[in-house]
Each structure stands twice: as C-alpha cells, then as structure tokens.
Amino acid sequence: MTFKNIFISIIIATAMIISAFLIQSARPGIEVSQPGPEYVRATGKCATCHLKETSAIVHQYSISKHASENVTCYECHRSLDGQKEIEHNGFKLATSVTALNCSQCHTTEYAQFLRSRHGAPAWAAVTGSSDFTEEQIALAEKFHPGTVKRGANKLAITEGAGVMDKGCKACHSVGKPNPDGSIGTCTACHARHTTSIALARQPETCGQCHMGPDHSQLEIYNESKHGVLYASQKAHLNLNADPKSLTTKDMPIPTCSTCHMSGLEGMNVTHDVTERLSWWLFAPISKKRPNYNLGQEAMKNTCLKCHAKTHVEKFYKEAEEVVFATNDKVQNALNIVSELREEGLLTPEPFDEPIEFIAFDLWHYFGRTAKHGAFMGGADFVQWHGNYELLLKTIEMEEIAKSLRSEAHSEK
C-alpha cells in the first residue's frame, strides 16, 4: 500500500467513526432506556461493544445456532421475574443466567432434565435437602423417592467445606438450585455461548464428571470397542446433526449421549438420563429400578438400531450375571463390618476406622466399576479393577476382623 492510500483510508475510517457517533447521539433516548429484543437484533448493541471487551465471547456466540436463528445476547441475559437484576449500559440484565433463562424457550428439555437424577438428586447427594423448597422436594421425590429428602453426605462433612466446594460440588452442581427458583445448569454439557450439540455428544464432555475410580464410565468407554472406533473414526461422524432427525448414518458409532439421550432413528430425544436404565448400579447392592422393564426396553431399542436381537439379549444376560456375582461378594464383605459393629468392636460413626475405608472402597470403587464395566464393554474393569479387588479387599477385611477379635479377647 502506498502512503497516499494509507492516508485516504485513515480519512475515510475517521469520517465513518464520526458519523456513527452523530447518528447514535441523534437517536431518541427512549430507544436506549427501554430496549427490547428487536432493538438489540437491529443494532447488534451488546455484540459491537463486547467485541472490544470480551471478544472471545462474541466469536463463540457467532458460531452458535442461536446466532444463526437470531436469538440475541439480550434474550438470554435479560432479567426475568424472580431474578436479581443489574443496570448495564441502559439494559436490565440478570445477575446470573440460569436454567430459568433457557427454559423460556426450551420448556421440554428443562422438564425432562428436572425429572432426571441430573436435577435435584445430584445436589442433594452432597448437601441433603436443606437448599430446596418444599415444592422442589415433592417434585423430585415423586420421580426418585429418598434421593432429595435426606441428610448431608457424611464423607463430604468430614472432608470440610473448602474441599466440598471445589470437589463434590463442582460435579454435583449440575443440579444445584438457583436463587430464582429454577434448578441446575444447562451449560455443563452445552457451554455458555456456543451452546453446542456436537460438544454435548462428545464423551469427554460427560467424562468431565463421569470418570475416576468410583464412576469410571469414560475410562470404560475408552476401552470398549465403541470408544476405540469413536477415537479413530470421529472425523466421519456428523456430530452436528439435528437431534430431531438423527440417523445411524450421522452416528454409526455410539457415544454416551447416543445410548443415554439421543433420538436415534426416530426414537425420542431425552434430557432425562434416567429413562433408559434398569438397575441402580451405583448402589452398594444393586437392585432393579421400579421401571426395570420400560428402562431396559428403551436402552435395548437403541442397541437394536445397530445390533441384532440375539446379540443384545446375550449381552444383557451376561451383564446381569456380573451384577449378581458382584452383589454376593459385596454383601459378604459388608457383613464383616456389620458383625464387628454388633459385637461392639467398631464405633457407630462412619469413616473413623481403617476397615470402614476398605469396605467403602470395596463397593464404591471396585463393586461399582465391575457392574459399570459389564454394561458398557470394559472387560478390564469387570476383572482386574473389579472382581479381583473384591476378593483381595475381603481377605484384608477378614484379617482385620480376626485381629480386632483377638485383641478384644486378650483384653478380657
């Protein structure tokens, strides 16, 4: 570019900026003090300013479906009934954008989410019922009896508030009640500004919380044939496909969301991740859920979009055998603790004696992992991280029980 061209460009740019200021100052004040969505849409008001302030947010928003469908910044951020508001450059914004703001336009997803264990039960698992209103407790208890009407978790209390905030609550906040009366967060899976479906369909997204020795779903998935195929053929999947018409051509390989949420080949999309389950696998001793038949049928219908019936029936039969075998071993080990307690050789408090920690690891790590491995294709988790450890830990517990009894005997 020559000097003359640069000079002319600067003149033109300056003239444009000045005229923009003139046009802006000539606007009637009412437009700025009582703006509505149409005004924001026409002017791009939030975005132009925020390109200078937090530009990444505007770029993230610009690749979202909301941007292409003309849903503005303001429509998510404006304050609704019951929300605390702040004045922000002529706009009344909510101090915090919650599930309430999303539910204005996505009532179905919010209603499904509310009846899942991602709703109130997730938060109550850590802090108990104290943060919920009577109506919220009643609604959640209708779908999951005993999951919200309960006390705060003993282990969480023992570890202390600071750890609870950055640990337990970071994952369990998916169902945290908000000050505006709504429950939970939609952005745990979709993110705030890209509100992406592709992101929610990726196993890593669920794996932010569904990982580690007590719920190794991500590790199990990565080991399974499904996970290995996903890793190598991800580029062939259409992760952005419209949920209402998702086919096996878009997703020939399942991820977490395909099995637990997607509306594959005409099935219903659901935000109730409980809907397709038949066992309480996370429990020390797993029992059938009240909707065992319906839940199992719904999940099997998903498998059947890609597998033959004989294959799926055999898979479930073998997985249930693992549940029975694991239940027996865990019950046997938990009996050791309850007998010691009856004999007065342990205090009534949990988590103050070594054998209680071993018993907890036994069902919470190894028992759960074995059962999850069996249902999601993780052979190593059924075996070496599962049933093998159950045997080892039981022997350790029997040794401790023996020495507690002989100590008590010699003290007499």
Write down the least CB distance from residue 93 to ligand HEC, Å: 6
Which residue from 340, 351, 298 is spatially nearest to 153, judged by alpha carbons?
Answer: 351
Please state, in angstroms and rounded to a whole number, the distance separating the CA atoms of residues 366 and 382. 9
> Which residue among 79, 83, 99, 250 contacts ligand HEC (CB under 6 A)?
99
The H-or-E segment that residue 45 falls in is: helix 45-53
Give the residue carrying structure tokens 């943060």: 131
Site for ligand HEC in 338-367 (CB under 6 A): none
The residue among 322 and 400 lying less far from ligand HEC, judged by its C-beta, is 322
Write down the least CB distance from residue 404 to ligand HEC, Å: 27
With beta carbons less than 8 A apart as the criterion, state whether 123 and 207 touch. Answer: no
Which residue from 352, 355, 356, 364 is spatially nearest to 389, judged by alpha carbons?
Answer: 364
The verdict on 66 binding ligand HEC (CB under 6 A) reads yes
Please state, in angstroms and rounded to a whole number, the distance separating the CA atoms of residues 216 and 220. 6
With beta carbons less than 8 A apart as the criterion, state whether 381 and 373 touch. Answer: yes
Please state, in angstroms and rounded to a whole number, the distance separating the CA atoms of residues 232 and 12. 52
The residue among 17 and 395 lying less far from ligand HEC, judged by its C-beta, is 17
The verdict on 315 binding ligand HEC (CB under 6 A) reads yes
Site for ligand HEC in 104-143 (CB under 6 A): 104-106, 109-110, 113, 117-118, 121-122, 125-126
Write down the least CB distance from residue 110 to ligand HEC, Å: 4
Which residue from 342, 336, 341, 348 is spatially nearest to 400, judged by alpha carbons?
Answer: 336
With beta carbons less than 8 A apart as the criterion, state whether 215 and 368 touch. Answer: yes
> Which residue among 71, 80, 285, 404 contacts ligand HEC (CB under 6 A)?
71
> Which residue among 74, 363, 365, 366 contacts ligand HEC (CB under 6 A)?
74
In one letter, which amino acid is 378? Answer: G
Please state, in angstroms and rounded to a whole number, the distance separating the CA atoms of residues 132 and 142. 15
> Which residue among 79, 83, 129, 205 contacts ligand HEC (CB under 6 A)?
205
Write down the least CB distance from residue 228 to ligand HEC, Å: 9
The verdict on 237 binding ligand HEC (CB under 6 A) reads no
The verdict on 77 binding ligand HEC (CB under 6 A) reads yes
Write down the least CB distance from residue 332 to ligand HEC, Å: 21
CA angle 216–222–225, rounded 5-degree value:
125
User: Six-digit token pair at 26?
Assistant: 């000539």
Choices 19-27, 95-103, 328-336, 349-357 (CB under 6 A): range interacting with ligand HEC: 95-103
With beta carbons less than 8 A apart as the criterion, state whether 123 and 177 touch. Answer: yes
In one letter, which amino acid is 84? Answer: K
Write down the least CB distance from residue 190 to ligand HEC, Å: 5
> Which residue among 120, 148, 218, 337 contacts ligand HEC (CB under 6 A)?
218
> Which residue among 153, 178, 268, 291 contacts ligand HEC (CB under 6 A)?
153
The residue among 91 and 132 lying less far from ligand HEC, judged by its C-beta, is 91
Please state, in angstroms and rounded to a whole number, the distance separating the CA atoms of residues 221 and 162. 32
> Which residue among 79, 83, 97, 369 contacts ligand HEC (CB under 6 A)?
97
In one letter, which amino acid is 114? Answer: L
Write down the least CB distance from residue 4 to ligand HEC, Å: 35
Enter the DSSP assignment of 365. Answer: I
User: Six-digit token pair at 177?
Assistant: 């009640």
Write down the least CB distance from residue 386 to ligand HEC, Å: 14
CA atoms within 13 A on the CB side of 253: 20
The verdict on 256 binding ligand HEC (CB under 6 A) reads yes
The residue among 309 and 402 lying less far from ligand HEC, judged by its C-beta, is 309
Choices 17-25, 130-138, 279-287, 329-337 (CB under 6 A): range interacting with ligand HEC: 279-287
Choices 133-141, 301-309, 337-345, 349-357 (CB under 6 A): range interacting with ligand HEC: 301-309
